[in-house]
Structure 1
Amino acid sequence: MKKFFLASACIAILASPAFPVRAAPPPGGIEADMPAHFHPVEDGFDFTRRDVMIPMRDGAKLHTVILIPKGAHGAPLLLTRTPYDAAHMASLTPSSDLATSLYGYDNMPDIVTEGGYIRVLQDIRGKYGSEGQYVMNRPMRGPENGTAVDEGTDTWDTIDWLIHHVPESNGKVGIIGVSYDGFTALTALFHPHPALKVSVPMNPMVDGWMGDDWFHNGAFREEMLPYIFDQSGTPKNTAKWWTSVYDSYSFFLDGVSAGAVGRARGMDQIGFFRQILAHPAYDSWWQAQALDRLLPKEGLSVPTLLVHSLWDQEDNYGAVALYYAMSAVPAARANLWLAVGPWNHGGEIREASTLGPVKLHSDTGLFFRRHILAPFLAHYLKDATVPLPARVTAFRTGEDEWGTTAALPPRDCDASCTSLHLQPGGGLGPSAPPPGAGEARYVSDPDHPVPYVQRPVVPKGQPGSEWRWWLATDQRNAAARPDVLSFVSPALTRPFTVTGQPVMHLTAATSGTDGDFVVKLIDVYPDQVADQPEMGGYQLMISADILRGRYRNSMEHPEPIPANAPQLYRLRLPLANHTFLPGHRIMVQIQSSWFPLYDRNPQTYVDSIFLAPKDAYKPATIAVDIAGSWLEVHQP
């Protein structure tokens, strides 16, 4: 009797709806492991997930992942629009716990879960699960985009669908993102949907020619070729850049020019690569896409927090350029905030207690998220009584302290500026040397360019790559080269603080007819650092950039450099906020290559450096006029 009861119970359980009985396999066949439709049991999850295809106005449908905390009611929506695979971003660490699932790029699980937000991740058109055609940094509707859609209209249509189909929400939407996702957070500000209450573009791509991913002042960022290949070759990045050379320095040197390297990889098939080859100068094609030119004309009706990283290895131009552009529009200032931190690209969303090898003595990423980002979002999406952060909150390295101010220093120098003059014999100081103080010379050889990090230059994403922190790497290897000039102050007896954007006024002649100029502002540590001996003598870049000489007079209209004739090169460096401490020294370095971060300048004028033949690359002698060269820096 007992045995019969147990057997009957087992049969009843197996026949219950939770355990469906499979149909018998066909005669002579075998049962398939995979069901036609698999439905995981997720009863223990603290969130529910919805995968939907949201229709756009032109009929394309965009794949969207909606993650809703269990029991959510009247919760705000926090949206990110990305080319980096929304499905993957929603399950970076697969878990029944929402915070764990979101741990990774662009997600900030502490902000999402502690704030009770509904997290929305969407593939932009043409990438991963979304329909339509992908265009790199799709231009806004206008001269370069004659269609009815852009990233702004796609955001509008997405928000409109969300507020009508997610009943757990309160109808308020914030958009947030890093890098490319910061770009889409900016495009949402063009004719914004009324339900969009806040935007947080972090390290955004703003102007790809002037100083973000593709160029800096005309010099092409050759290390970005693999990104363009992977991102624009296929919808799901299934075509991967390859190389059989461990050292990128050797690989790109052997490839001669960036155009030749790209063509050897079949990149002529990629529309964006063809556009780069067709537009090496800052012509109307680039200008019509630059968001720091377009958004001021649109105005700013949505509260916006721009986030900038002082050691951003990819997009250290955009947020600051846009801040200054929008600050010049009186009607926009009321909706403009800025946060500045000691981070690399996207470092603010992670633990950030170090800057490369430099200790910051606190988790600056956590401070940003807890004391700046969280209250900013909460104020506009949940509770208007939550106090807002200051208009500008910035971390000052050296002193390692946060500070607040009403605005950044003016972009151009004023009475708060100090000049650091080059001195004969490699000195640097506040006093201008007399006219005729002489020259400092070096030979720039394109066959032996200055590496931007110590060789071997390991490709981005590979084990041992220094890409994430290359801006904070020790510059002593560069200083030891004969083709790098170093001008150094005496050891400081009191703190010296720089803020704002330094501007280099460099007077130099070259024996060639073209050439690049790299300028670095460097903090030279004392020979001994008691609490961190490995930092003794360290040379930390504080701000640095490059100018392609053919654009010294006009970014739009290049022209040869007259050989052996001194020219003035004015180079605005990225934002700095740093205190040189007593015992430290201030250094300015000058060189003419930064390879393979930037493609080599042949130093012989050619119509397109992208297609320069091997025999165009020639050594050139550079003569820097000491009396005619100085660096202007803002001081608080």
Structure 2
Amino acid sequence: MNEVEVYRDVMVPMRDGVRLAADVYLPTGAGQLPAVLVRTAYDKSAPVTDGTGEYVRIARAGFAVVVQDKRGRFASEGEYRVLRDDATGPHRDGADTVEWVAAQPWCDGNVGMFGYSYLGETVLGAAQAAPPHLRAGAPAQPATDEFVDRAFVGGVLVTNIGFWASLPMVAEDLVAKLPADRQEKARAELDAYRAGLPESTAAMPLTEQPFVRLFPHAWGDVLAHRDDPDFFAESRFARPEAEQVKVPLLHIGSWLDHFPANTVRQYCLTRDHADPAVRDAQRLVMGPWGHGGFTRDEFGSVFPGSAVDYAGMNIEWLDRWLRGDSLTRWDHPVVLYVMGADRWRTERSWPVPGAAARTLALTADGALRQGDPSPGTWSFTYDPADPYRGGRLQDVGAVDLTALHEGDNLLRFETPALDADLEITGVPEAVLHLSTTATDADWHVELHAVGPDGTAMFVNEGAARARYRRSRTAPEPVEPGAVEEYVVGLRPMSVVIPAGGRLRMVLTAGKYPAFERNPQSFTDPGTALESDLQKADHTLHSGPGLSRLVLPVVDPARRGEWIDNPWPLAPGDAEAAPVERQAAELER
């Protein structure tokens, strides 16, 4: 099957009568085929790089491929709502489209889905809606769970959710859908927003940021509902949603991506709570890529052999479940890339069976060590008007930030030089006992793998907002001077620090402009002004049972099997352009 025909702007009716536009790729003269559905908010007809949009290649592998604009985006009708209209609420667009595809004369009734980021979220949405003809899916780096892992981390706003709206593949269509008399002003605000990057993502007041303020569903509604998880319920994937899943899912994520916690959590939920017939068919793959960077082996640091054939791995997964092909590699429930060791490994489950908790105390003299330390305190002053400017791991990659760690607006802790390799695979946790002169504060924790030569690799981060120490939905001010316990959950990770290296932990009270600035007072951060920012002194308390870092450390004797790259990049294939057809011809 070499020649592929593409039918543009085929209109697919939803249950409420709204029609969504799709491009359909069909191998010439192939008859009935299993179908692969991709649903996107980023223009179905736009070229996509890094193997994520190789629709012609997938069609040449013997599939009908349907690529659809989400409701209200580009050629589709209806009103657009961010991360909505897939699984719950008034619309079930993913499920409706699956069933439409299955009923077409060129489809044999078997439909699979794949996609990364927003497109991965649509796979999960359709899977929990459970249309009868969906057979399998491969959600990669999905943008779900807004309340805990997209819009907010530990209750702290991630400012680039606004930046998302300014991206060319998003902004142009948002502006085009505004009334004509508002478009010129919107484009002027967009230019101002882009000109001020990256600082404009955290400009105060947040509610009045240029351009993004024009689109409440992408910005203002998030600010207005920061303590209301029910507002984000349509994007949530928890146990009730997992229980609705009736198909095998290949969960693809990465340690350096925006959403590794989503990917790992979704795998565990479906493995434990999906329809019993498919629980054992759930699979997890975790690499060291950036967002969408599956075909590259570098993101900050170089990770040899990590680049994969993303389209090929999806073809193989869908071949198995849509055509019944046998693939022995999928007998491994978990496949992960271990940074530092720079190798792929298989495991029987997640958390990996060979990991056990190891507690390192944070001492008043800046050490990370096992055992109970002497009581002591260590303080720093944080001024949100002169912030720590560390980037987010998923924005900067595994880079050396040592130069930022010499300031007086943070605390830095390190282990002694290691006498043996240390593998950390799992989800670490920092338990901090802190007092502050403020009535609110943010606690940002970073982990860095320091090599024997002194160079460091940024490998993990987490955050917690003080006002949410007792309840994420019922914030309360901090009593100045009171010692409180704060738990900072970090991201899933897998890294080996070699003998002679060290583990570094950094604690600070803000990361600008990656996160919103906390005024360090119990006020509304959304409406706070630069003039509201206050300096505060923060004190860490160490001693028996107090501040500590808990690590999932893998016993070398109990780890899984090292393997070669299971999806090496395919040789370059000069892919012929599809033959363009009219949508009406599809019905002939």
2:444 is aligned with 1:518: yes
Within the candidate set 452, 456, 461, 1:544 is matched to 461
2:255 is aligned with 1:307: no
Match of 2:124 in 1: 186
Q: CA deviation at 1:282?
A: 4.1
Match of 2:204 in 1: 256
2:358 is aligned with 1:418: yes
* Contact 1:233–1:270 under 8 Å retained in 2: no
Alpha-carbon distance in structure 1 between the residues aligned to 2:370 and 2:360: 5
Alpha-carbon distance in structure 1 between the residues aligned to 2:87 and 2:37: 22
2:295 is aligned with 1:379: no
Deviations 1:137-184 (A, max 9, x none): 116676xx3x3x1xxx222222222233242x3321110111111110
Question: 1:22-61 residue pairs with structure 2 within 5 A?
Answer: 46-51=3-8, 52-61=10-19
2:351 is aligned with 1:409: yes
Equivalent position SS for 2:142: coil
Using the size of structure 2 for normalisation, the TM-score is 0.85
Match of 1:119 in 2: 65
2:158 is aligned with 1:205: no
Q: CA deviation at 1:550?
A: 1.0
Corresponding pairs, count: 536
Match of 2:104 in 1: 165
Match of 1:499 in 2: 425
Deviations 1:300-326 (A, max 9, x none): 2111111111001x3233112222333
Match of 1:286 in 2: 232
Q: CA deviation at 1:270?
A: 2.9
* Contact 2:83–2:234 under 8 Å retained in 1: no
Using the size of structure 1 for normalisation, the TM-score is 0.78
Q: What one-letter code is carried by the residue in structure 2 that aligns with 1:176?
A: F
Alpha-carbon distance in structure 2 between the residues aligned to 1:558 and 1:105: 44
Match of 1:317 in 2: 261
Within the candidate set 378, 393, 396, 2:338 is matched to 396
Equivalent position SS for 2:515: coil
Match of 1:342 in 2: 288
Alpha-carbon distance in structure 2 between the residues aligned to 1:509 and 1:634: 27
2:507 is aligned with 1:590: yes
Equivalent position SS for 1:295: helix
* Contact 2:450–2:504 under 8 Å retained in 1: yes
Alpha-carbon distance in structure 1 between the residues aligned to 2:409 and 2:128: 47
Q: CA deviation at 1:376?
A: 2.2
2:244 is aligned with 1:295: no
Equivalent position SS for 1:418: strand
* Contact 1:326–1:333 under 8 Å retained in 2: yes
2:471 is aligned with 1:558: no
* Contact 2:297–2:303 under 8 Å retained in 1: yes
2:15 is aligned with 1:78: no
* Contact 1:248–1:596 under 8 Å retained in 2: no
Equivalent position SS for 2:45: helix
Match of 1:329 in 2: 273
Alpha-carbon distance in structure 2 between the residues aligned to 1:503 and 1:56: 44
Alpha-carbon distance in structure 1 between the residues aligned to 2:393 and 2:306: 21
Q: CA deviation at 1:401?
A: 1.5
* Contact 2:2–2:60 under 8 Å retained in 1: no
The alpha-carbon distance between structure 1 residues 224 and 523, as it changes in their structure 2 partners (threshold 3 A), is: same
Q: What one-letter code is carried by the residue in structure 2 that aligns with 1:424?
A: A
* Contact 1:211–1:316 under 8 Å retained in 2: no
Within the candidate set 441, 446, 453, 2:384 is matched to 446
Within the candidate set 547, 555, 559, 1:629 is matched to 547
The alpha-carbon distance between structure 1 residues 251 and 226, as it changes in their structure 2 partners (threshold 3 A), is: closer
Q: CA deviation at 1:136?
A: 0.8
Gaps of 5+ in 1: 1-43, 93-101, 454-465, 528-536
What is the Cα-based RMSD across aligned positions, in Å? 2.7
Q: CA deviation at 1:71?
A: 4.0
Alpha-carbon distance in structure 2 between the residues aligned to 1:287 and 1:164: 31
Q: What one-letter code is carried by the residue in structure 2 that aligns with 1:558?
A: P
Match of 2:558 in 1: none
2:563 is aligned with 1:620: no
Q: CA deviation at 1:374?
A: 4.0
